[in-house]
Amino acid sequence: MVDPLRGNTKKSQATPILAAFEKHQLALKRFISRYLRNTQDIEDITQEAFLRAYKAEKTTEVLQPKSFLFRIAKNVAISELRSKSRKITDYIEDQEESSVLLNEWTTEDEVMAQQKLGIHCEAVASLTEKCRRVYLMRKVYGMSHKEIAARLGIAQSTVEKHLMNGVKICDDFVKNRMADTANTSQKSKGTNRGQQQ
């Protein structure tokens, strides 16, 4: 079919990598699913593999586009697996450290931690709707900036901006409320001492 704007055939625009991707896209996804189970991860790796192969094709002659595409997909999938396993390891180490610290906590420490958690929840609730959604998707669900951007239909730079604002607002909110709580606690102790004397 002739493209009226370019005056050439659509077929001639397809590069070997694009042709291989269009022909083997389902097989590529099945191949990636050997490494990753999450549907969104499989989609992301598929797109990433295509983009890398397509970019490489501009500077290098690719003699076996299908093999090239699958090799890149395998490398990207393994890299993603390593990243996920590092996150899990970090999370487990953090939990172990937290449990050790919890065993050394006093009742007062626990009360303070509960207070701080409650204040933090209030801080998150005070964020604008979009900022709150980005903050929760990142901090609670551990989604990447790219995943959040795709889910909300916004740019990654907008995700980063919302996240920075959310973190700053929440930190300031918690600091101010904790300072107020400490001041109130000190005043009440002072009043109690005065009454006892």
- Angle ∠(117,123,129) on CA atoms, nearest 5: 130
The answer to whether 32 and 71 have CB atoms below 8 angstroms apart is no
Q: Taking 70 as the threshold, does the pLDDT of residue 44 lie above it? A: yes
Residue 7 is predicted with a pLDDT of: 40
pLDDT tens, residue by residue, 53-85: 999 998 888 899 999 999 999 999 888 877 776
45: helix, strand or coil: helix
- 48 CB neighbour count, 10 Å cutoff: 19
CATH number of 11-87: 1.10.1740.10
Pinpoint the residues of the chain covered by CATH 1.10.1740.10: 11-87
Pinpoint the residues of the chain covered by CATH 1.10.10.10: 105-187
Identify the band that residue 171 occupies on the pLDDT scale cut at 50, 70 and 90.
Answer: confident
Q: Which residues of 134-162 are buried (b: 16+ CB within 10 A; e: fewer)?
A: bbebbeeeebebebbbbeeeeeeebbeeb
Alpha helices in the chain (DSSP H): 16-32, 39-59, 65-103, 107-125, 129-139, 145-152, 156-196
CATH number of 105-187: 1.10.10.10
Question: Tokens representing 169?
Answer: 């607002």
* Assessment of whether the complete model's pTM goes beyond 0.75: no
